[in-house]
Amino acid sequence: MPSPTVTMRRSSARPEERLLDDVDLDLVAALQIAPRTPVNALAEVLDSSPSTVARRLSRLRTERLLRVVGRLDWPLITTENPRQVWITCEPGRSQEVARRILELAEVQTLLLTTGNADIYCSVYPLLGTDIFDLLTNRLPGIPGIVSTESQLVLRAHTMGQTWRLHRLTGEQSERLHEHAVQVTQERRTSPEQLSELERRTAELMVANGRIPAADIARALDVSRSTAYRTSQSLLECGALWPRVEIEPTLLGFPLNALMSLTVLPQAIPGLLDTLGSHPSARYVSMVAGSSSVIHYGVFRDEEDLARFITTDLGAFPEVTTVNTCVGVRVLRRHWTARDGVRLGDRVDGFLRHLRPVNDTAEARD
């Protein structure tokens, strides 16, 4: 007689999840759709008052629970596509190794994990970086590392800024989409295509994705109209994407899982589409390496993850193997340190790579 299945679920919300109430959660969901929506428009969509929205947003920022930043388009800061790297450490040394890895500006995201690897990180070949030396010498040479495995991202189907907390009505979402960034200009493919004013403006918008034109004008000593045109140009050409930085644990999704999938080649496009639209998806990519696709998802609990593996992945017979690592601690996301659910400092020196290599070299001289 088969043994009965025991389903274990958490009986109550984690303490971190109680830091936000329904008003806060609605505000987060709205900002995820359109991060630069003015306070008055947010209040109207959420059936609240501008003072309430402004007060809530200020509290979330002050308590380091939420930050709206800007994500620069890959070609403006990198020489090639990122790598996803899995690291095995000597017993008892994973946290020490992680601290050393975090000294590398090229490391965009880092999690301590359980499973086949002790550490997962995404590595971006920033302008001026010798990626071969980084992957074969600097990174594996860190004391305490036993082995590394890197996988080249061939296609990034879904990224963190597209993950949503689904709690608003369809009508509310449609109204917010009116304030979302629309790419209408030709894409910039290198930092040399940005003017000095655009680069300086981008640096401000990376730090604050909601920065108004008036603040840009004061910081750069230009007219407000010039600041507005420059910031809009960066948004409309896709050079910079506003995104909400907040830990999913605060929103009821404390379980981070990284699934490396081996997939029959002809099934990869369809699988990417399906996984990319799944509510758990934070980063879905096709990679070159020991696996074909990596799905980085966030889940409410273990049962939620189990259902995803058996039902959603199980619907694809072309998926031949599933290797799952569970994130037990997030130390960095999008070049921003994490202190539990609170946001820390941004990587020091990261923005120097926005400037062309020649300018960076001259600055060092």
Q: Is 90 exceeded by the pLDDT of residue 353?
A: no
Q: Is 80 exceeded by the pLDDT of residue 351?
A: no
| Domain extent listing, the chain | 182-237
Q: Is 60 exceeded by the pLDDT of residue 359?
A: no
Q: Is 80 exceeded by the pLDDT of residue 1?
A: no
Least confident of 3-12, 16-25, 171-180, 350-359: 3-12
Question: Among 76, 72, 75, 32, which residue's Cα sits nearest to residue 243?
Answer: 32
Q: Would you state the structure tokens that stand for residue 92, as one six-digit string?
A: 């008892």
Q: pLDDT above 90 covers what percent of the chain?
A: 87
Write down the pLDDT at residue 193: 93
Write down the pLDDT at residue 278: 97
Write down the pLDDT at residue 364: 36
Could you report the per-residue pLDDT of 73-89, keeping only the tens digit for each? 999 999 999 999 999 99
DSSP 177-201: HTTS----SPPP-SGGGS-HHHHHH
- Quick check: 248 and 298 in contact, CB under 8 A? yes
Question: pLDDT higher for 12 or 25?
Answer: 25
273: left (phi over 0), alpha (psi -120 to 50) or beta: alpha
pLDDT band at 348 (very low <50, low <70, confident <90, very high): confident
**Which residues have a Cβ under 8 Å from the Cβ of 14 and sit 6 or more positions away?**
249, 254
Could you report the per-residue pLDDT of 146-205, keeping only the tens digit for each? 999 999 999 999 998 899 999 999 999 999 999 999 999 999 988 899 999 999 999 999
pLDDT band at 18 (very low <50, low <70, confident <90, very high): confident
Q: Is 70 exceeded by the pLDDT of residue 360?
A: no
Write down the pLDDT at residue 13: 58
Write down the pLDDT at residue 17: 67
Write down the pLDDT at residue 189: 87
pLDDT band at 350 (very low <50, low <70, confident <90, very high): low
Question: Out of 1.10.1060, 2.60.40, 1.20.120, 1.10.10, which CATH number does the structure's domain 182-237 have?
Answer: 1.10.10
Q: Is 80 exceeded by the pLDDT of residue 3?
A: no
Could you report the per-residue pLDDT of 264-311, keeping only the tens digit for each? 999 999 999 999 999 999 999 999 999 999 999 999 999 999 999 999
